[in-house]
Homo-oligomer: A and B are copies of this chain.
């Protein structure tokens, strides 16, 4: 209903001021003075947001204008005509919409730098899992009591009173319709076969389904030859999505062979390392990948201590590829960092103290002033390099300041946070205020494979449309890409090289995009 815009008013005010000063040197009218003050306050506020310091080139401005035009139209249409704002809706419903937008296509093309918060069992597409991995020899399936498929690579069918294991190949052949079978199989595994936002009432009930996903695929993906190809496929998909670098959390232990051999963490690390190196040789534009060992929050203190020791060994032996340690799994019902304090302090009490970098998930929770909420305090005191999720960080003023003072970036995964029940309308994401005040933030995608998101572009799109305002586009996206290099765990030297590679791709992206837009520029003027 309202057709006044801030910019109109600013323009009027500026004109009035200029006119007053020039023509009569008379004092400003109250209204003109008010509007100048207003403009200055809004500018002061906006000057603090993430990306505000970036000065766009003329070419970038062209691109920015196109993105903003679409963004503003979507926002204004929805606000004024009261139609649903799809970019903030449940990803289950928004995904198809997002894929039709101009901004999404631009984001896909945009070199986004690194994805720094990822889990190894959900990084390649389910299409590949179904159409490639499950087509292999010795892949078995069984239906559990909830009618969910479990997949496993087996040499011999084990005695299992709860689940009847059958060869996937046979089941597929017997189904009579290969496409329908594969489609059913994918839907059965996918987190996005129903709408998680309406399907689950609580964070806990979502996590039951989420944990199920991992149970469904681990017996397939942990088969070493498949894991090798799965990871290679993930790198292909990330690169195709214009992500140049990843830091991957992995359990590392437990990759197995058909003969029953179960591998240790170093084997797992070398699997990732060799695939990464081969991939980098093939694609010199790709910056690289590094690994974070991730323990599970329900293990015993002894087991975690053992993992910390292994992490120290791997960190000494593979300093360029192995980054450090984290603990993963739903925080709320499981053990806190404090519970594992002896293990986590172990490196620092060595003589001399050993600095094992940590990358802790912390406060992916609604439980304020509880043990899990205080995972943030421990993450910060244990000198975590970054904080995974940190959803509740902003409920702690001192922790929030400390994270900024120490340059501890928060890894925000907007689609994950929505799907796992922490926020419904993504515009209400708890950490929007940190983005509005340029705290160290990176955007990642957590487990995109589990919910059929693109490697990083869907999360970047949702961040663009929901985590910043109507007047913000390319400065924000560019800063996010720069942040992903700045707050990565690469060495300073590596960062310089990474930034150079990224800059080459960025410049090319801007040029190509603007070139492609030229025929449309006249349409808009």
Query: Contacts A84-B201, A424-B424, A436-B396 known; A368 to B79 CB distance under 8 Å?
Result: no
Q: Which of B75, B370, B373, B421 contacts A370 (CB 8 A)?
A: B75
Contact B202 A84 (CB under 8 A): yes
Cβ distance A206 to chain B, nearest Cβ, rounded Å = 11
Q: For residue A24, which residues in chain B have a CB less than 8 angstroms away from its CB? A: none
Query: Contacts A48-B397, A433-B394 known; A368 to B42 CB distance under 8 Å?
Result: no
**Stoichiometry (number of copies):** 2
A514 at the interface (CB under 8 A from B): no
Cβ distance A293 to chain B, nearest Cβ, rounded Å = 22
Q: For residue A101, which residues in chain B have a CB less than 8 angstroms away from its CB? A: none
Q: Which of B372, B397, B472 contacts A433 (CB 8 A)?
A: B397
Cβ distance A473 to chain B, nearest Cβ, rounded Å = 11
List residues of chain A with CB under 8 Å of any chain B CB: 1-2, 4-6, 9, 30-31, 34, 37-38, 41-42, 44-46, 48, 75-76, 79-82, 84-85, 88-89, 198, 201-202, 204, 298, 332-336, 338-339, 341-342, 345, 348-349, 366-374, 377-378, 380-381, 394-400, 402, 421-425, 427-428, 430, 432-433, 436-437, 468-472
Complex Cα gap A153–B373 (Å): 55
- Beyond the given A4-B338, A4-B339, A48-B397, could you list 15 further A-B residue pairs with CB under 8 A, ordered by the A residue number? A2-B371, A6-B371, A38-B377, A38-B381, A41-B381, A41-B398, A44-B398, A45-B377, A45-B396, A79-B370, A79-B372, A198-B198, A396-B436, A422-B428, A430-B430
Question: 23 interchain pairs (CB within 8 A)?
Answer: A6-B338, A6-B374, A30-B345, A34-B345, A38-B378, A38-B381, A41-B380, A41-B381, A48-B397, A82-B204, A82-B333, A84-B201, A84-B202, A84-B204, A85-B202, A88-B366, A366-B428, A368-B468, A368-B469, A373-B469, A397-B436, A428-B428, A428-B430
Query: Contacts A80-B333, A397-B433 known; A425 to B366 CB distance under 8 Å?
Result: yes
- Which of A377, A400, A472 gathers most chain B CB within 10 Å? A377
Cβ distance A124 to chain B, nearest Cβ, rounded Å = 30
Cβ distance A373 to chain B, nearest Cβ, rounded Å = 7
Q: For residue A400, which residues in chain B have a CB less than 8 angstroms away from its CB? A: 433
Complex Cα gap A480–B373 (Å): 24
Contact B428 A423 (CB under 8 A): yes
Contact B472 A369 (CB under 8 A): yes
Contact B338 A471 (CB under 8 A): no
Name A41's closest neighbour in chain B (CB-CB). Answer: B377
